[in-house]
Amino acid sequence: MRIVKTRDYADMSRKAANIISAQIILKPDCVLGLATGSSPLGTYEQLVDWYRKGDLDFSGVTTINLDEYRGLDRKDPQSYYYFMHTNLFDRVNIDTARTNIPNGMELDEKKECDRYEKLISDLGGIDLQLLGIGHNGHIGFNEPCEIFEKETHCVNLTESTIEANQRFFETADQVPRQAYTMGIGTIMRAKKILLVASGEEKAEILKQAFYGTITPNVPASILQLHPDVTLVADKAALTGINHG
Ligand code: F6R
């Protein structure tokens, strides 16, 4: 595992965008695994900026998102579909036919999960997977539980995740209770992982995830077994980790 310590959120975002940008330059037809949430927002902003300056070309890139709420329409401003379009896809020259997000409106769980796993495998796997980390150690929507889920599946969100995500909704009742997410196995099959984290409130979970016991109770702890993980985090998020 590589740890890249940054000054602050802006510095984290630039460095993470640099790594994604290098991936696109080295393999213009790469498959990028993407995440939503506050952590990657600045990274997307930076990528858009470099695209506008003519330094990045997304025309050959395929994307595959980690997760989506189940039951939210694409047009819903809280859907991850909407998030990805407003923050990245509609602002760069990506072919939207090559952008993939689980279909939250497909209520047949098995059908949707099988479709998504097959899609990733037909694409030849993920070259670089961008991740954030939840306060409880979740990655994607893989919540703490008894086992590491191998494949894309439908999850019931935990109270702590509903509470954390409530900030985007008017009331907690409006936060969907279920989501489709890539499994831990799906994420672990990505060739490279880039995890971004910022702020003191992520310090304790980063320490547990990267230096604690590998357990499905801290889903991100499995990343200790991945051969190519880069953690880009600001110094506030690294206070629990004694890193130069
Ligand atoms: C989002 C996702 C989640 C977030 C995590 C951290 O697609 O999969 O695992 O990465 O909840 O969220 P933020 O970045 O908002 O702290």
pLDDT band for position 244 (cuts 50, 70, 90): low
Residues with CB under 6 A from ligand 1: 35-39, 66-67, 132-134, 138-140
Query: Distance between CA atoms of 93 and 58, rounded to whole angstroms?
Result: 5
Question: Residue 137: which region, alpha, beta or left (left: phi > 0; alpha: psi -120 to 50)?
Answer: left
Whether pTM > 0.85 for this model: the answer is yes
pLDDT computed for residue 243 by the predictor: 65
Q: Measure the CA–CA gap between 83 and 104, rounded to whole angstroms.
A: 13
How much is the pLDDT for 59? 98
* Averaged pLDDT score across all residues of the chain: 96
Whole-number pLDDT of residue 55: 96
CB environment 26-41: b (16+ within 10 A), e (fewer): eeeebbbbbbbbebbb
Tokens of 168: 């985007």
Residue 201: count of CB within 10 angstroms of its CB:
12
- Closest atom, ligand 1, to C-alpha of 202: 16
Enumerate the active-site residues.
67, 136, 138, 143
Atom 4 of ligand 1, nearest CA residue: 132
